[in-house]
Amino acid sequence: MKKIPAFLWLCLALTLWSAQAPVPADNPLVGAWRLEKSSQEDGLDGVTIVRILSPSYTMMAAYREGEFIGSSGGSYTFDPESGESLYTVDYNTWDSSMVGRELPATIEVSDDRMFVRWEEDNMTFEDMWVRLDAGDSPLAGHWKIRARARDGEMVEIHQRGTRQTIKILSGTRFQWTAMDYGTKQFMGCGGGTYTFEDGVYTEHIEFFSRDNSRVGMSLSFEGKVEGDDWHHSGKSSRGQPISEIWARQ
């Protein structure tokens, strides 16, 4: 498979409209999307590429069954009137030199698809994504870890500088990433689908950069949202007890 370009974030898809999952009026890009077709890539067979967008942050991961391929993420802006979008790269596992770059694109919506065009080396590319959900969940959004239990007490985590542990969720999908955009380092990521019912948050892991053997595992946590804090506790993929607080960004 060819190297997946850093700007795959550019190719965003329109939603499947439904009464149960209305598209956010102020930003129709919010939610989860799957790459359907790329004019630049001819080696996508068997590879799943999913992007999650909050109102101002996005992460993308590429993987096939049992194999993590790569990921990128960062902040973005979008003007629904002009269709212009600008993405600032925080991390990129394929090419760390992309970190800090600003990448523009133009988006055109047609029916249940979104076609995104961008230029590189005097060539125009177009990709198409399909919506998986519209971010209709109390957990949907961009989160940063704020505190973790140690020796029975909740201890604040002070993430100084540019190192970050962040998580992004749509209505049905999640991804977490540990990275340092100042040093352009990537420490790891994982993601997949999730459910949140009756105070129980359950992750179903579809990719895990540090250990492919974790793929297929399901992890359940007790969870609740209080204001801009998300509390959850349970056991990690290693079977160790964890209790954390994540702050909405």
- In order of start, what are the domains of the chain with their CATH numbers? 6-133 (2.40.128.20), 141-248 (2.40.128.490)
- Percent of the chain predicted with pLDDT > 70: 87
Q: Side chain identity at 178, as an amino acid letter?
A: A
Measured from the Cβ of residue 156, the count of other Cβ atoms closer than 10 Å reads: 8
Of residues 161 and 176, the one with the higher pLDDT is 176
Burial of 154 (0-12, 13-18, 19+ CB in 10 A): middle
Burial of 97 (0-12, 13-18, 19+ CB in 10 A): exposed
Of the pLDDT bands very low, low, confident and very high (cuts 50, 70, 90), residue 152 is confident
Tell me what pLDDT residue 21 has. 40
Tell me what pLDDT residue 10 has. 46
How far apart CA 46 and CA 124 sit, in angstroms, is 25
pLDDT tens per residue across span 31-90? 999 999 888 765 577 899 999 999 999 999 999 988 999 999 999 998 988 999 999 999
Residue 159 pLDDT > 80, yes or no?
Answer: no
Please name the helix (run of DSSP H) or strand (run of DSSP E) that holds residue 63, with its range, or none.
strand 57-64
Tell me what pLDDT residue 112 has. 73
What is the greatest pairwise CA distance in the chain? 58
How far apart CA 99 and CA 125 sit, in angstroms, is 21
pTM of the predicted protein model = 0.87
Q: Side chain identity at 124, as an amino acid letter?
A: T
Q: What is the mean pLDDT of residues 151-173?
A: 90
Residue 151 pLDDT > 60, yes or no?
Answer: yes
Output the six-digit token pair for 78.
């979008």
Lowest mean pLDDT among 73-77, 93-97, 125-129, 184-188: 125-129
Of residues 195 and 117, the one with the higher pLDDT is 195
Contact (CB, 8 A) for 93 and 71: yes
How far apart CA 175 and CA 190 sit, in angstroms, is 6
Contact (CB, 8 A) for 113 and 36: yes
Lowest mean pLDDT among 11-25, 67-81, 142-156, 203-217: 11-25
Residue given tokens 């804090």 in the structure block: 229
Residue 114 pLDDT > 70, yes or no?
Answer: yes
Q: What is the mean pLDDT of residues 174-196?
A: 97
Strand partners of residue 202: 195, 220
- Mean of the per-residue pLDDT values of the chain: 86
Q: How far is CA 215 from CA 32, 65, 202, 218, in A?
A: 20, 8, 14, 9
Q: How far is CA 193 from CA 50, 132, 206, 213, 219, in A?
A: 11, 11, 7, 17, 11
How far apart CA 172 and CA 194 sit, in angstroms, is 5
> Beta strand 229-235 with 200-208: parallel, antiparallel or unpaired?
unpaired
Residue 245 pLDDT > 70, yes or no?
Answer: yes
